[in-house]
Homo-oligomer: A and B are copies of this chain.
Amino acid sequence: MDRFFMSENSLKNTLYVTIFGTHTRAGKAFDITLIIAIICSLLVLVLDSIPSVSAQWSKELKFLEYTFTGLFTIEYILRLYCSPKPIAYAKSFYGIVDLLAILPTYLVLFFPSASFMGVIRAIRVMRIFRILKLVRYLQESNILLRSLLMAKRKIFIFFTSVAIMVTIFGSLIFVIEGPENGFTSIPISIYWAIVTITTVGYGDLAPQTGLGKAIASLTMLMGYSILAVPTGIFAAELHQEMQSHKVLVKCPNCSQNGHDSDAMYCKHCGSQLADPEKRVVPGEA
């Protein structure tokens, strides 16, 4: 690449590497500063929601909130400025998250009645994902995500089955228990079925009649058993994903693979393998 940028381009480039990159010293410092700022601004948000705290420290919290919003606004403008494709960035998932993280404060400033919108700022927490993704956990979360993606059809079938079961059990309990026991409508009864099948069990709605208790028992036992399905799917996919990384080490002599990550000699023909230290084995890096 051309190292001789014009002064403006050079500034843009330095900013880009610092803000979007992670491998330079400045980039790492920027990421760490940002993660601290995000967590602090979340703490301000949380403290502001506690009545006793917000009554006493109202001014200070407001000041801190405006400071953080100001900083994030500057960051957002800089990202737009130094990005080679500002519109693509603004439209991307993280571009929208970045905007939603600052917008509510301004809205509340101009329309005080929209104060409930302030909580949308909690979306700031999602910005942590970006930093996590960039830094060093990339590999591991890729394995997890790939396992989930591989299993996405199985998971879809699982959730459709849960939805169908929940509709049937919810309707059943609605007929059996009825409004006099709190099951006032089918949506409420489906909510009860979800609370029961996921084994949460708040207890705000519980069957009172004998038949209702029998149906509830069946719902619980089904919920308890089908918990095995997503776990089994994920465990099996993850295992396969981890296994398939084993296949990557090939013997230069007999060309067979399936060697362990610490193997130095081919288990099939006994000839020497590549140096384990220099192999790229995912999950070890």
Contact = CB atoms under 8 A, between A and B. Distances in A.
B265 A262 contact: no
Nearest to A283: B244
Contacts of A234: 228-229, 231-232
Interface stretch (A19-27, A69-77, A160-168): A160-168
A28 interface: no
A188 B204 CA distance: 18
A42 interface: yes
A250 interface: yes
Contacts of A147: 232
B259 A267 contact: yes
A62 interface: no
Interface string A228-271: 11111111111111111011001000011111111111111111
A15 interface: no
Contacts of A256: 262, 276-277
Contact of A268 (B45, B185, B204, B264): B264
Contacts of A158: 144
A187 B225 CA distance: 22
Range for the number of chain A residues in contact with chain B:
35 or more
A126 interface: yes
B42 A244 contact: no
Q: By CB atoms of chain B within 10 A, which of A155, A159, A162, A217 has the most?
A: A217
Contacts of A270: 264-266, 270-272
A186 B206 CA distance: 18
Interface string A187-214: 1101100111011111110100010011
A186 B191 CA distance: 23
B116 A175 contact: yes
User: Lowest 10 A-B CB distances belong to which pairs?
Assistant: A122-B171, A265-B270, A200-B201, A263-B267, A232-B234, A232-B235, A202-B203, A49-B186, A203-B203, A228-B230
